[in-house]
Amino acid sequence: MGGVSLPVPRRVRPIGIFSRYSRSSNYRVAKYSKVGQSELQTGIGFRHQMSIAVSGRVRSVGQSNERYLPAMGSQPLYERVREQIAAQIADGTYAPGARLPSEAIFAERFGINRLTVRRAIEELARAGHVQSRQGSGTYVTEPMVRAVVLCGLTVDPNIGGLTQQLRDLGHKCEHRFLRAKKLESGSGAAAIDLPRCQQWRVDSALNVDGTPWLWSRTWLPTALLDEPIRHWDSSVGAYGLIDVVTVGTTPIWRSLLADFANSEDADILDIRLAFPVLVLDQLDADSTGHPILRQSRRIRMDRITYVLRFADP
């Protein structure tokens, strides 16, 4: 240890000192300065450590600070690794287009299992920070730029719909039909502000440039049309179903809510649990003013920014 003496706590009898090769993620690590002062830190990933068995419990003395990865409570190990790599991407250590070191190199650097590194990189890929190329490696992607979508605070806004605005920005959009289910009369109708009649519940996803940016759950009366899949148009989505039976709709209300991704969001949008999502709920009426369509959109918050625009005076 370079001639540095290790202070032994009072009232503790040292049993022995031995060398230990470890992959454990939760050792209490004592780091010693040149003058022998100690600073306790909780760390992970020391591949080779000097360990002191004290009263039957093992505490480790790290030989190198390069493999120290700070612990954060009960945060999963892969998440801490993900944050470390993401921070290196953010500070330019790995620039856009650069190839990341292999899983084996990261595992050696952090002193952890390759499977943990793989999970961390998968989460980075889900967030759009990196992209894996078969047989080539993992590369840092260009910084993500959110699409700005206007939402007018008027009954009849002179603003194009979400899909049209994204297309105007140069994106390719496709509404992907997921599933449809009949809900019996009165089954939760009051909760969604629709008449007490049999309803279709239609789930769909909007793919932008081949990646799911949002998914929607839409309710509408079954009396208006037969199987929704028969009338599905991938260019317009759920609103195309309404166009089959009526001429346009009128907004009744809209609401915006910030939320965390649930298991459905994670599965459909290819994001991790608790990823931030924006929830846009809406209720529309037909030409007579009767509620006809209820929709809830769950949107990746890293892809779209909603801007509320007031009507001109």
Which tens digit of pLDDT belongs to each residue from 153-168? 655 444 458 888 999 9
pLDDT band with cut points at 50, 70 and 90 for residue 31: very low
Picking from 99, 124, 140, the residue at the C-terminal end of a domain is 140
Q: Which two tokens stand for residue 125?
A: 């890929």
Same structural domain, 205 and 230: yes
**Rounded CA separation 272/274 (Å):** 6
Q: Is residue 6 part of a domain?
A: no
Q: What is the mean pLDDT of residues 299-304?
A: 92
Q: Quick one: 188 and 57 in the same domain?
A: no
- pLDDT one-digit tens code per residue, 85-109: 998 998 889 999 999 999 999 999 9
Residues 91 and 212 in one domain: no
Kindly state whether residue 224 falls inside one of the protein's structural domains.
Answer: yes
Whether 11 has a pLDDT exceeding 70, the answer reads no
193 domain residue, yes or no: yes
Q: Are residues 101 and 190 in the same domain?
A: no
- Are 52 and 109 in the same domain? no
- 86, 121, 140 - which closes a domain: 140
- For residue 37, what pLDDT band results from cuts at 50, 70 and 90? very low
Token pair listed for 119: 């999970």
Place of tokens 């049209």: 164
Q: What is the pLDDT of residues 182-239, one digit of tens each?
A: 988 755 555 677 878 888 999 999 999 999 999 999 998 888 888 899 999 999 888 7
Task: Identify the CATH number of the domain in which residue 130 sits.
Answer: 1.10.10.10
* pLDDT at 241 (0 to 100): 82
User: What is the average pLDDT across 268-282?
Assistant: 90
Q: How far apart are CA 307 and CA 241, in angstroms?
A: 27
Specify whether 87 is located in the same domain as 209.
no
CATH at 300: 3.40.1410.10
Closest Cα partner for 302 from 125, 173, 146?
146
Q: Last residue of some domain: 140, 168, 188?
A: 140
Q: Which pLDDT does position 240 carry in this prediction?
A: 81
The phi-psi region of residue 160 (left if phi > 0; otherwise alpha if psi is between -120 and 50; otherwise beta) is beta
Distance CA 164, CA 223 (A): 29
Q: Are 123 and 77 in contact (CB under 8 A)?
A: no
Residues 297 and 152 in one domain: yes
> For the segment 229-274, what is each residue's pLDDT rounded down to a tens digit?
999 999 988 878 877 667 678 888 888 889 989 888 999 999 888 8
Q: Do 160 and 299 sit in the same domain of this protein?
A: yes
pLDDT at site 90: 84
Q: Is residue 91 part of a domain?
A: yes
Same domain, 194 and 109: no
Domain range enclosing 173: 147-309
* 120 shares a domain with 22: no
Q: What is the pLDDT of residue 312?
A: 61
DSSP 78-108: HHHHHHHHHHHHHTTSS-TTPBPPPHHHHHH
Q: What is the pLDDT of residue 273?
A: 83
Task: Give the amino acid at 210.
Answer: G
Amino acid at 48: H
Q: What percent of the chain has pLDDT over 90?
A: 34
pLDDT at 290 over 70: yes
pLDDT of residue 176: 96
Residue 182 included in any domain: yes
Q: How many domains, the chain?
A: 3
Residues 130 and 266 in one domain: no
Most confident among 55-69, 75-89, 97-111 (mean pLDDT):
97-111
- Please tell me the predicted confidence (pLDDT) of residue 38: 31
Do 67 and 23 contact (CB within 8 A), yes or no?
no
Based on the fold, state whether residues 46 and 113 are members of the same structural domain.
no
Distance, CA of 281 to CA of 216 (rounded, Å): 10
Q: What is the pLDDT of residue 218?
A: 92
Q: Which two tokens stand for residue 232?
A: 């599905």
Q: Judge whether 132 lies within some domain.
A: yes
Q: Is residue 9 part of a domain?
A: no
In a domain, 5, yes or no: no
What's the pLDDT score for residue 32?
32
